[in-house]
Amino acid sequence: MSRVSLEGISKRFNGVGVVRDVSLDIEDGEFVVLVGPSGCGKTTTLRMIAGLETVSEGTIRFNGGAVNDLSPRQRNIAMVFQNYALYPHMTVARNMTFALKNNGISKAEIDATVQRTADLLNICELLDRKPKALSGGQQQRVAMGRAIVRRPEVFLFDEPLSNLDSALRTQMRIEIKKLHQLLRTTVVYVTHDQIEAMTLADRIVVMDKGEIVQVGVPMEVYEQPRTRFVASFIGSPRMNFIPCTICKNGPDSLYLKFGNESQWAIPAAHAARFRKYENAAFEIAVRPEHVSENGAGSNVAQFDAAPTVVEVTGADTIVVFSLSGTDVSARCRPDWRIKVGQPMRFGVSFDHLYTIDPASGVVGQPH
């Protein structure tokens, strides 16, 4: 196993920077997920760690030693790709043993290693088949098996589940997590799917426009996003962002005002963090699970709205309504019978209400 350190690495293609000054320490045995939208630089960063792309600036270290000039083979990494990259003319067994044979390992040791790995991945009955006879999920297991038998210091995953259907993605996430808990090998995993990031990672690295914008354990990133981008990207359904202004009703009474339709009294306990926006338009943000039906309490703003969309998912019901022209989503109880166009009362607690600075995009935390 290996500790991976990225020290100010950058990558330019034809003079255009696609990764800029990325620094990150990945601990031995840690599962780190790079997440972000397409084009944010996460796959390029992974390929630099693998040695498949050269580093324009900065240093990559494994266990303290620089690896910039080492080939992928010399770095002792194993990579699982989005398209599996299996040899179509070889059986599953030969796909798994190909790299081992080139390393001069004895046949007996190779056979034992493949059998152990096949048992681990539940693919023993597939060893004599060729890739074209396998489902997508089976091919992904074989690709993982081929990586495991090499006993690498670092596993690299590049969007490995994106070609699978929803049910298989869920199943494979569980399998990957189990494997990591068993093998405890350092893993760097790239995805644009924030659900994968939240469920798999020891730590999430959120990237945008070639830079790291936040690093943290999943719930820290979810509950304490630093920027509007992170708040909008992490979470499903996404966080609500609602334009508003501050108005006064007397010297000590502050209100959030939403166009000409609605206003919420700001509790005294929260007044201080809103005062700086008295003369500026800004946004508040709240997650759908914190927009509740019939919410009540000293720090809760209550208001009536008519749902425009109702999505029943089984586990819960997502209700969309308009607040001064902005669509707002609420995650409601599954047993709550809600009809489009029928007004109902909602509540939002200021204890879960974020502010978004209009100039910097920095998120003001509720507490």
> What pTM was computed for the model?
0.91
Question: What is the predicted pLDDT for the residue at 278?
Answer: 87
Indicate the average pLDDT of the chain.
91
- Report pLDDT digits (tens) over 57-84: 999 999 999 999 999 989 999 999 888 8
Which residues, in sequence order, are CB contacts of 171 under 8 Å at separation 6+? 137
Question: What is the predicted pLDDT for the residue at 100?
Answer: 79
- Report pLDDT digits (tens) over 147-197: 888 889 999 999 998 888 888 888 889 989 988 998 899 999 999 998 999
Tell me the C-alpha distance between 86 and 142, whole Å.
Answer: 8
Contact between 346 and 292 (Cβ < 8 Å): yes
Question: What is the predicted pLDDT for the residue at 84?
Answer: 81
Burial class (CB in 10 A: 0-12, 13-18, 19+), 90: middle
**Side chain identity at residue 261, one-letter code:** E
Question: What is the predicted pLDDT for the residue at 102?
Answer: 66
Band of pLDDT at residue 295, cut at 50, 70 and 90: low
The residue to which tokens 């966080």 are assigned: 239
- Report pLDDT digits (tens) over 82-128: 888 899 999 999 998 887 776 777 888 888 988 999 998 889 999 99
- Complete domains list, the chain, with CATH: 4-224 (3.40.50.300), 240-364 (2.40.50.140)
